Amino acid sequence: MLIRYPDPIAPSEITPREVYLNRRQFMGAGAAMTLALLGPTASAALPARTSPYSTAEEKNTLKEISSYNNFYEFGTAKSDPAEQAHTLKTRPWSVLVDGEAGKPRRFSIEELLKLAPLEERIYRLRCVEGWSMVIPWVGFPLAALLKQVDPTSRAKYVAFETLADPAQVPGVRERVLDWPYREGLRIDEAMHPLTILAVGLYGDILPKQNGAPIRLVVPWKYGFKSSKSIVRIRLQETQPPTSWSMANPREYGFYSNVNPTVDHPRWSQASERRIGELFRRKTLMFNGYADQVAGLYKGMDLKRFY
Ligand code: MTE
């Protein structure tokens, strides 16, 4: 997002499968636990039925999805996360869910994996920089987790925080952003059935560079809303500050809905380059999810609430 545009993917940026998947982690205790939870018949690491919310568009390859990343806690180049994310330890892991909740508590990653049936959600991801991908996530609705803690009537917003331990995510030593990486949603956006917490991708656990062990995915918003490696989710009455709008409020707002009619101050958002394709394609309102989400913004001036 420190804005290189356009930004063709160089062959040298493609990382071998062993590096991104980090087989040691996959073969380790975490995956064994996951397999145990899923039972002896599990063949893939994270078997899941494909949700009807999925797009039928051609998927990007695992190589593309896991070697062209934004995860500034590991550096600002697209290839940095795949090369550097090995320092992240995804077990043990837990997420504190607190704030305006009747039953705030901490969930271990093992509990999170059992919370709701895992689904494959094949979603478009549109980055604010002007590129897009189609990604087969494995995850479950964020609503399933929020319901567990009984949000109070004052819970109007949900704030998300990424791990900021310099030993594990060394990029936080650089003041590129105000860490921890922070994002937020309105409660109705958070409870929307399209909004998921992803724990896997292509039927396997999440590569670290994609936000292991658990990250947010909100397919009708620019990719930066999807916080990676989440350690805290807080329900609150007031709109939470977010890392990108704190860094540059003129360029990044709270809503960040994909909108081809509202330009970024420095470039148009009318079209996008699907990674792997030659020609640009038109960007769709709400990233093509307007039928499902336009109602959330009825009566709002989306040029003002960008
Ligand atoms: N989450 C954290 N913690 N740090 C980041 O730098 N980058 C965001 C988002 N989540 C980011 C993050 C941006 S700009 C994008 S486009 C998506 O992650 C990219 O997700 P992907 O690498 O899985 O495609």
Query: Which domain range does residue 149 map to?
Result: 11-297
Q: State the total domains in the chain.
A: 1
Is residue 83 classed as helix, strand or coil in its secondary structure? helix
Is the C-beta atom of 162 inside 6 A of ligand 1?
Answer: yes
Is the C-beta atom of 85 inside 6 A of ligand 1?
Answer: no
Is the C-beta atom of 15 inside 6 A of ligand 1?
Answer: no
Q: Is residue 138 a part of any domain in this protein?
A: yes
Q: Is residue 196 a part of any domain in this protein?
A: yes
Tell me the CATH number at 166: 3.90.420.10
Is 125:223 a contact under the CB 8 Å cutoff? Answer: yes
At 167-204, the pLDDT tens digits run: 999 999 999 999 999 999 999 999 999 999 999 999 99
Whole-number pLDDT of residue 28: 39
Relative to the CA of 209, which ligand 1 atom is closest?
22
Taking the CA of residue 113 as centre, how many other CA atoms within 13 Å lie in the half-sphere pointing to its CB? 26
pTM: 0.88
Q: Is residue 3 a part of any domain in this protein?
A: no
Q: Is residue 303 a part of any domain in this protein?
A: no
Q: Is residue 241 a part of any domain in this protein?
A: yes
Q: Is residue 123 a part of any domain in this protein?
A: yes
Give the CA distances from residue 264 to residues 76, 125, 256, 260, 275, in Å, rounded to whole numbers and listed in that order.
Answer: 20, 17, 10, 10, 20
Q: Is residue 60 a part of any domain in this protein?
A: yes
Q: Is residue 56 a part of any domain in this protein?
A: yes
At 97-125, the pLDDT tens digits run: 999 999 999 999 999 999 999 999 999 99
